[in-house]
Chains A and B, each alone.
Chain A
């Protein structure tokens, strides 16, 4: 059974930094691209970032480009999202999703950016 377990979300001040993790199990992690998607309170889904299976290529939404960095460790079946220069509008639940077509999702980890 595919499982994705996000962690690392918390309350952080504007301008601060945070690193999210998503630990995967139940599939051959190194063969799948991985994604981060966020959902602000009461709002819809917003794609954030994608990393290819080897980690050689990354993609970002314009709203986070230059501030967020996606990476992965295939020896630990884990994908990360490093978030810097955080803003109030980054407040959201952050989900990781498996594969190019988002076939499985984790339960999400909440990030609140507030002073």
Chain B
């Protein structure tokens, strides 16, 4: 089974400053169709998860452009250019190339 490892698990940030979350997979996420199925989700306190990014770098509708995803193979990153109050919550990466696996989650909180 594919293991997804996120770091850090806790990320204190100052509002207006950038933030970055790493996600590494135990094997390549390049699928047989050539796509890489790595998605990012945000779960705000008391809410259901919401997808932010799909296939590494594609922002979902309504997601601010301060969010960006990058990476390839086994190493992926979610970046927030300037953290806003509504960005607080737990971020999860998820691979969909070999069945499905979520990372442990990264809790973004205000410093």
Residues of A within 8 A of B (CB): 35, 37, 44-47, 50, 59, 61-62, 95, 100-108
Interface size on B, residues (CB 8 A): 23
Q: Is A102's CB under 8 angstroms from B39's CB? A: yes
The reply to whether A102 and B94 contact each other, CB–CB distance below 8 Å, is yes
Indicate if the CB atoms of B102 and A45 lie closer than 8 Å: yes
Count A-B contacts at CB 8 Å.
Answer: 55
* Cα of A45 to Cα of B49 in the assembled complex, Å: 9
Say whether B39 contacts A46, CB under 8 Å: no
Contact B104 A44 (CB under 8 A): yes
Q: Which residues of A contact B39 (CB under 8 A)?
A: 101-102
Give the contact stretch, choosing among B13-21, B50-58, B71-79, B81-89.
B50-58
User: Given A101-B51, A106-B48, do A59 and B41 touch, yes or no (CB 8 Å)?
Assistant: no
B92 in contact with A101 (CB, 8 Å):
no
